């Protein structure tokens, strides 16, 4: 199979929101105690999990959860509730942490991200970034000059569709001007990203490990699919 396009998920695939101790050092629970390392790790997991409800929610917040990646207002609303239920009861602390979480400059690229973006673009293969997200991630690329390698950013809050809905994948391939059968989707979620197969795309899974533990997974899957 010769692929004319590659679609990359963002979080856990080409970038990762790494746990930053400076963000969490001053967080305190209901009793004023600082969160321990285990609680901090679980907090970050809940804030970046690609699928699955991470806390119990009332009807109002459940609606916001299901639509969070379509609407920045709902995204903020429900994740402040997630933070509250995850041991960050103080509103000012929750807002400060949430602001960092949606700042693209705070996200860390995987070690092979630059090589992969350059390599795919250099081969003349169309490249898209397809993400369930409620904030603009383009600055994470432009500040490094990597936006030059990306043909299309397809972000759920801008197009009104989310993975695993087939509409968002169709939207991406149409914008790239390619056939789904000639497109490889690379992502960290079998449920969300793997749904690209429903419209005829191929799919390659990478694990959303810390960036220090995953030096070349993107290169490996692209070589395995004869893209690089």
Please state whether beta strands 15-16 and 108-109 pair in parallel, antiparallel, or not at all (unpaired).
antiparallel
Instruction: Give residue 189's pLDDT.
Output: 95
Instruction: Encode burial over 145-180: b for 16+ CB neighbours within 10 A, e otherwise.
Output: ebeebbbbbbbbbebebbbbbbebbbbbbebbebeb
Instruction: Give residue 91's pLDDT.
Output: 82
Residues in the chain: 228
Instruction: Give residue 79's pLDDT.
Output: 87
**Domains contained in the chain, CATH given:** 5-16+107-225 (3.40.50.1000), 21-102 (no CATH)
User: What are 204's strand-pairing partners?
Assistant: 186
Instruction: Give residue 176's pLDDT.
Output: 98
Instruction: Give residue 1's pLDDT.
Output: 75
CA dihedral 162, 176, 136, 67 (to 10 degrees): -10
Instruction: Give residue 84's pLDDT.
Output: 83
11 vs 132: CA distance, rounded Å:
9
The packing angle between helices 37-48 and 72-85, to 10°, is 160
User: What are 5's strand-pairing partners?
Assistant: 126, 183
Report phi then psi at 213, rounded to 5.
-100, 0
Instruction: Give residue 29's pLDDT.
Output: 64
210 vs 202: CA distance, rounded Å:
25
Instruction: Give residue 51's pLDDT.
Output: 55
Contact 78, 68 (CB under 8 A): yes
User: Backbone dihedral region of 156: left (phi > 0), alpha (psi from -120 to 50 degrees) or beta?
Assistant: alpha
34 vs 11: CA distance, rounded Å:
27
- 206: which 2 tokens? 């990478």
Q: Residues with Cβ < 8 Å from 60, sequence gap 6 or more?
A: none
**One pLDDT digit (tens) per residue for the chain, 228 residues:** 799 999 999 999 999 988 666 666 666 666 667 766 666 667 777 666 655 666 788 899 989 988 999 999 999 999 898 888 777 777 887 888 888 889 999 899 999 999 999 999 999 999 999 999 999 999 999 999 999 999 999 999 999 999 999 999 999 999 999 999 999 999 999 999 999 999 999 999 999 999 999 999 999 999 999 999
Q: Residues with Cβ < 8 Å from 193, sequence gap 6 or more?
A: 9, 13, 50, 163, 164, 185, 186, 187, 203, 205
pTM for this entry: 0.87
Instruction: Give residue 183's pLDDT.
Output: 98
């Amino acid at each position: 199979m010769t692929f004319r396009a590659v679609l990359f998920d963002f979080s856990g695939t080409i970038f990762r929101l790494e746990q930053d101790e400076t963000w969490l050092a001053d967080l305190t629970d209901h009793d004023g105690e600082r969160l321990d390392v285990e609680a901090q790790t679980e907090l970050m997991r809940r804030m970046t999990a690609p699928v699955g409800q991470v806390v119990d929610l009332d009807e109002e917040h459940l609606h916001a959860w299901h639509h969070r990646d379509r609407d920045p207002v709902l995204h903020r609303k429900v994740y402040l509730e997630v933070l509250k239920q995850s041991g960050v009861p103080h509103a000012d602390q929750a807002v400060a942490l949430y602001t960092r979480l949606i700042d693209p400059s705070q996200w860390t690229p995987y070690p092979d991200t630059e090589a992969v973006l350059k390599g795919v673009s250099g081969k003349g293969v169309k490249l898209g970034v397809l993400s369930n997200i409620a904030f603009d991630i383009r600055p994470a690329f432009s500040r490094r000059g990597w936006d030059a390698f990306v043909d299309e950013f397809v972000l759920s809050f801008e197009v009104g569709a989310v993975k695993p809905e087939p509409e968002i994948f169709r939207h991406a391939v149409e914008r790239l001007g390619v056939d789904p059968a000639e497109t490889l989707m690379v992502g960290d979620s079998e449920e969300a990203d793997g749904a690209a197969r429903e419209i005829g795309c191929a799919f390659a899974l990478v694990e959303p490990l810390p960036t220090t533990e995953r030096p070349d997974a993107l290169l490996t899957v692209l070589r395995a699919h004869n893209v690089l």
